[in-house]
């Protein structure tokens, strides 16, 4: 019932956004004199804008800018000016075609203690104003895992990331920008933890997203990929402020004397469990092999991280096959003989940049903006 109510509220918010998107104040401009400052966005849907501190690495132009918002759903951080950064990239003709609306790609960051969405996607090819779509990069935290945590009283404060993104960020964007606010024109993609989050959101909200993509995503948190659970637990307990290993989904172990008494929530939130929900959603996922050796390469952290992922991605692929869900899957191995040759199959931006080069034109075609 709670999930049904949340989806109903989101649908109402999206409808309101469609009606009001063109009413938000915009910088004065014409086709010959485009604006030089970002558009003015209106608070709403539980989000209140805060000042964004000057930062040479954070773009602030009319086409590429970041805002800072506060929300009761997730505690703010010093990294994000005390709130949460949301980076937005607008198409090159956004101001010269004031009646035109655009599809949207939501990009989700990976796990890192310095995971600031205002800078996380800097330097990636195709993530720019030339792609004919709006890019939105909301804060996913260093270890938010795109979920409403089981325990909300941890040292990290409120951690309701799904509420923040689905019930607040999406309707806020649709109300403030000229989006095509419907499923066929909305996609979600992410890197590593963000790849997990993108697939999880598409599975839990298939009414919202027509396309989903994962780049080196953690796509199996079931018992079959116990090592990935270990990596998630390490992200929970390894960053400051330290939180408990059970705070996200309860115990990661099969048995416990406290609720939920087993790892049932880890299994329930593993992407393969709800693969059937992706029928009608375009699914793409990419992964390397961390060098492809018989054992994980412990002398290279990025190779080590990617080494574990092909098996997990294969488990997810098997779940899609069992559910009869078509997909586009690229396992580029160590990159040899492929466009990914320069990255060596590592858990590294060089690999993910090639993922974008391959994926964005395909998404443009799906959106009809190629």
The residue among 45 and 256 whose pLDDT is bigger is 45
**Mean per-residue pLDDT of the chain:** 91
Tell me, what's the pLDDT at 14? Answer: 39
The predicted pLDDT at position 257 comes to: 87
Q: Give residue limits of the domains in the chain.
A: 2-367
SS (H, E, C) the chain: CHHHHHHHHHHHHHHHHHHHHHHCCCCCCCCCCCCCCCCCCCCECCEEEECCCCCCCCCCCCCEEEEEEEECCECCCHHHCCCEEEEEECCCCCCCCCCCCECEEEEECCCCCCCCHHHHCCCCCCCCCCCCCEEEEECCCCCCCCCECCCCCCCCCCEEHHHHHHHHHHHHHHHHCCECCCHHHEEEEEECHHHHHHHHHHHHCCCCCCEEEEECCCCCCCHHHHHHHHHHHHHHHHCCCCCCCCCCCCCCCCCCCCCCCCCHHHHHCCHHHHHHHHCCCEEEEEEECCCCCCCCCCCCHHHHHHHCHHHHHHHHHHHHHHHCCCCEEEEEECCCCCCCHHHCCCCCHHHHHHHHHHHHHHHHHHHCCC
Mean pLDDT of 226-255: 92
Give residue 78's pLDDT band: very low, low, confident or very high (50, 70, 90). Answer: very high
Name which of 14-18, 61-65, 182-186, 329-333 the model is least confident about. 14-18
State pTM to two decimals: 0.91
pLDDT at position 32: 56
Per-residue confidence (pLDDT) for residue 25, from 0 to 100: 42
Q: What is the pLDDT of residue 9?
A: 40
**What are the structure tokens assigned to 201, written together?**
């959101």
Q: How long a stretch of residues is the chain?
A: 370
Would you tell me how many other CB atoms lie within 10 Å of the CB of residue 280? 11
pLDDT in tens, 20-48: 333 344 444 455 577 889 999 999 999 99
CATH superfamily of this structure's domain 2-367: Alpha/Beta hydrolase fold, catalytic domain (3.40.50.1820)
What pLDDT was estimated at residue 227?
87
Reported confidence tier of residue 324, pLDDT bands at 50, 70, 90: very high
* pLDDT for the residue 15: 38
Does 16 score more than 80 pLDDT?
Answer: no
pLDDT tens for 127-183 read: 999 999 999 999 999 999 999 999 999 999 999 999 999 999 999 999 999 999 999
């Amino acid at each position: 019932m709670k999930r049904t109510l949340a989806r109903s509220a989101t649908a109402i918010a999206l409808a309101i956004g469609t009606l009001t998107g063109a009413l938000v104040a915009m910088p004065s401009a014409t086709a010959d004199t485009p604006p030089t400052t970002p558009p003015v966005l209106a608070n709403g849907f539980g989000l209140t804008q805060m000042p964004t501190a000057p930062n040479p690495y954070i773009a602030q132009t009319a086409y590429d800018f970041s805002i800072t918002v506060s929300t009761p759903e997730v505690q703010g951080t010093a990294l994000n000016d005390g709130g949460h950064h949301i980076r937005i990239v607008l198409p090159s003709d956004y101001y010269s075609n004031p009646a035109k609306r655009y599809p949207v790609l939501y990009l989700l960051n990976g796990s890192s203690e310095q995971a600031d969405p205002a800078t996380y996607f800097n330097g990636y090819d195709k993530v720019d104003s030339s792609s004919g779509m709006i890019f939105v990069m909301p804060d996913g935290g260093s270890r938010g895992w795109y979920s409403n945590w089981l325990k909300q009283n941890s040292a990290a404060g409120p951690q309701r990331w799904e509420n923040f993104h689905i019930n607040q960020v999406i309707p806020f964007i649709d109300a403030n920008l000229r989006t095509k606010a419907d499923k066929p024109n909305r996609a979600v993609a992410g890197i590593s933890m963000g790849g997990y989050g993108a697939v999880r959101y598409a599975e839990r909200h298939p009414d919202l997203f027509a396309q989903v993509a994962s780049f080196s995503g953690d796509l199996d948190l079931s018992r079959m990929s116990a090592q990935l659970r270990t990596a998630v637990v390490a992200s929970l307990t390894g960053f400051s402020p330290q939180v408990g290993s059970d705070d996200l989904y309860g115990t990661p172990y099969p048995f416990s004397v406290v609720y939920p008494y087993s790892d049932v929530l880890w299994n329930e939130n593993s992407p393969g469990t709800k693969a059937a929900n992706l029928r009608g959603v375009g699914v793409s996922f990419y992964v390397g092999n961390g060098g492809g050796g018989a054992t994980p390469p412990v002398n290279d952290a990025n190779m080590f991280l990617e080494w574990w992922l092909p098996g997990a991605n294969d488990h997810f692929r098997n779940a899609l096959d069992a559910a009869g869900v078509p997909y586009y899957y690229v396992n580029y191995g160590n990159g040899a003989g492929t466009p990914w040759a320069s990255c060596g199959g590592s858990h590294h931006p060089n690999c993910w940049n090639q993922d974008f080069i391959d994926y964005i034109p395909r998404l443009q075609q799906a959106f009809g903006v190629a």
